[in-house]
Amino acid sequence: MMDTIVTYLVFIPMVFAALMGLFQVRQTLLRAGAMVSALLVLGLTLLLAWHFDPNVEGMQFVRHLPWIRHYGITYYLGVDALSLVLLLVIALLMPILHLYMWNYETKGYWYNMLLLQTGVTGAVLALDLVLFYLFWETMLLPIFIMIGRYGHDMNRAHAMKILIFTILGSLAMLFSILYLGYAHYAYQGAWSFAYRDMAALPLDPGTAGWLAAGFLLAFAIKIPLLGFHTWMAPAYSSAPTPALVILSAIMAKLGIYGLWRFGYGIFGKVLHLYEPLLLTLALVGMIYYAIHAITQNDLRRMFAFSSGSHLSLIALGVVLANLYAWSGSLYLIATHALASAGIFLMIGLIHQRTGSVRIDRLGGIASVAPRFAFFFMFFALSIAGVPGTGGFVAELLIIIGAFSHAPWIGAAAATTMLAAVLFVFWMLQRVLFGPPRPATEAFRDLSGPEMLMLTPLAVLLVLSGLMPSLFTPLFEPQIQAELIRFIHTAGGAL
């Protein structure tokens, strides 16, 4: 059971989708099936987390089978602390999203969501570069279809935009992958695309630098870092809510994951070449996105930019490469995913109730729908990183890491927290308070199922904020080991 569990995690949603598609089941059965598959995966993920031993270095639950022997491409899945965190986030969010979609009549949504889960889970677990590339590309397809088919506001053009941008990055990465595979063949006489083998290749720094650029381009577009972000606001504003949550809470994090796993895992020796660039992009991006967020009138766009700002902060933490920053980044990956899932779901609810997410049409929600206002405020404040929520712990760790790297970086990072507080409070004032507007006069408060959907997210955010010691032992030993390994390969000192 435990040695095949990773396969189940990846393929259960796809198998459910295939079976239900084959039999053309009704919508009621379809959603029940999707929920069963999501809960099954959640159960298995928790089981895996239970058996996961944080003190053992390296990959666990490894599944390594030959796939295309001729080229040494393998079916290679495994879990370490980094992927476990993302895995837990994905598995937890999926049932919640299914709950949100519960009354969606269109069957295509459900199939796309199931396939999307397979795609993102596979990308998190894959350790063979070709397999990773396969999942990395495949997860784009359901997003493309969902934005283009079920989205709004110029969604067709925006779907094409996100597709073209992302594939540009992916293909640059593909070139690097092919070169790495060939380099392994040239040096070792056998093909391999397993990521540990790649790290051991004796590439000269110039070549490795170019190859790293291919990977970095793909990840920079996915995160997105400043300058690679022009697809972000259009795609976020057009995406239907479930796709939007996946985009912000999971797919953007996968960009960080890629930077971490493959950027540092394979190109540890040459990544310092890009460090100034990445640092600048992350730092400027943080401020730039935050200012952009303040000026937005569309809630989706506002939190798209806020999301970009936080992802830049996570990227900053990864680039700083010290224990505080890395722990903080990993922590922020999880807590920001929870908080942004909460806020985007609630923005979706606002859209359902009023038909608009424009801030100037909203107002006074607190007086007609107090429960809604409470949750909305809570998630918005978690995004801003108010003490008591998980975001605060994570951001604090990153900022400490930044100060220990260089004070001015720490100061700049701390400023973003202020900017986030600024736009969140101003937004809350305009959306929740004041007299009700025509659109919000009959605003319905949260119903039972909606509460059920949001409560787990809120509880986890509070827990992670108040008792970080509950979660950190899960990943800290491995982060430390990984950091030491990286510093060794990079040739620096602690």
Partner 1 sequence: MTAYLSPFVPTTLVIIGAFVLLIMSTNKTIHLHSYLYVAVGFLLLAFAVELPQFGHENSLYVFPEIFGHSYLVDDFATLFDLMFLGGGALTLLINAIYLSRRDYYNGEFFALFLFAIFGMMTLAHANDLIAAFISLELTSIGIYALTGYHKNYRGSNEAMLKYLILGSFAGVFFILGSAILYGIAGTTVLSELTTFIQLHGTEHRLALSAAGMFLMVTILFKIGAVPFHSWLMDVYLGAPFPVTMFMASTLKVALFAVALRVYLILYADSSLIGNRAISVIAILTLLGGSWLALSQNILKRMLAGSSIVHGGYMLIALSSIGRGADLAAPAIMFYLLSYFISSVGAFGILSYIAADATRPLTYDDFKGMAYRRPYLSAMMAISMLSLSGFPSTIGFLGKFYIFTSAIESGQFLLAGLGIFVAFVSVYYYFKLIAMMYFYPEEETTGVRHPFEIHISTLLIGLMALVTIWGGIGTGLITWFPGADGIITIAQQAIDSLP
By C-beta, is 158 or 310 nearer to partner 1? 158
Taking CB under 8 A as the binding criterion, the range among 50-58, 149-157, 279-287, 346-354 that sits at the site for partner 1 is 149-157
Give the DSSP H/E element, type plus range, for residue 217: helix 205-222
Q: Is 403 in the site for partner 1 (CB under 8 A)?
A: no
Q: How far apart are CA 316 and CA 308, in angstroms?
A: 12
* List of long-range contacts for 446-450, beta carbons under 8 Å, 24+ apart: 446/349, 446/369, 446/371, 446/372, 446/375, 449/99, 449/102, 450/349
Q: How far apart are CA 121 and CA 12, in angstroms?
A: 11
Q: Is 175 in the site for partner 1 (CB under 8 A)?
A: yes
Q: How far is the CB of 490 from partner 1 (least distance, A)?
A: 26
Token reading at 33: 């099936």
Q: How far is the CB of 363 from partner 1 (least distance, A)?
A: 33
Select from 32, 39, 62, 167 the one that contacts partner 1 (CB under 8 A). 167
Q: Is 69 in the site for partner 1 (CB under 8 A)?
A: yes
Q: Which residue has the tokens 């879990």?
A: 79
Closest CA to 299 of 209, 402, 431: 431
Instruction: Establish whether the linkage from the previous residue to 224 is cis, with ω within 30° of 0.
Output: yes
Select from 134, 201, 414, 490 the one that contacts partner 1 (CB under 8 A). 134
Select from 75, 102, 374, 425 the one that contacts partner 1 (CB under 8 A). 75
Contact 148, 155 (CB under 8 A): yes
CA dihedral 67, 71, 72, 78 (to 10 degrees): -60
Q: Is 179 in the site for partner 1 (CB under 8 A)?
A: yes
Question: Which 40-59 positions form the footprint of partner 1 (CB under 8 A)?
Answer: none
Select from 40, 62, 168, 294 the one that contacts partner 1 (CB under 8 A). 168
Q: Is 11 in the site for partner 1 (CB under 8 A)?
A: no
Q: Which residues contact 83 (CB under 8 A, 6 or more apart)?
A: 124, 125, 257, 261
Q: How far is the CB of 106 from partner 1 (least distance, A)?
A: 10
Taking CB under 8 A as the binding criterion, the range among 62-70, 198-206, 253-261, 403-411 that sits at the site for partner 1 is 62-70
Q: How far is the CB of 263 from partner 1 (least distance, A)?
A: 20
The residue type of 476 is: E
The count of residues interacting with partner 1 (CB under 8 A) is 35
Q: Is 358 in the site for partner 1 (CB under 8 A)?
A: no
Taking CB under 8 A as the binding criterion, the range among 141-149, 241-249, 407-415, 466-474 that sits at the site for partner 1 is 141-149
Q: How far apart are CA 11 and CA 41, in angstroms?
A: 10
Select from 104, 133, 231, 378 the one that contacts partner 1 (CB under 8 A). 133
Q: How far is the CB of 12 from partner 1 (least distance, A)?
A: 17
By C-beta, is 1 or 65 nearer to partner 1? 65
The residue type of 36 is: V
Token reading at 232: 């972000």
Give me the residues that bind partner 1 (CB under 8 A), please.
65-71, 75, 130, 133-134, 137-138, 141, 144-145, 148-149, 155-156, 159-160, 163-164, 167-168, 171-172, 174-175, 178-179, 181-182, 185
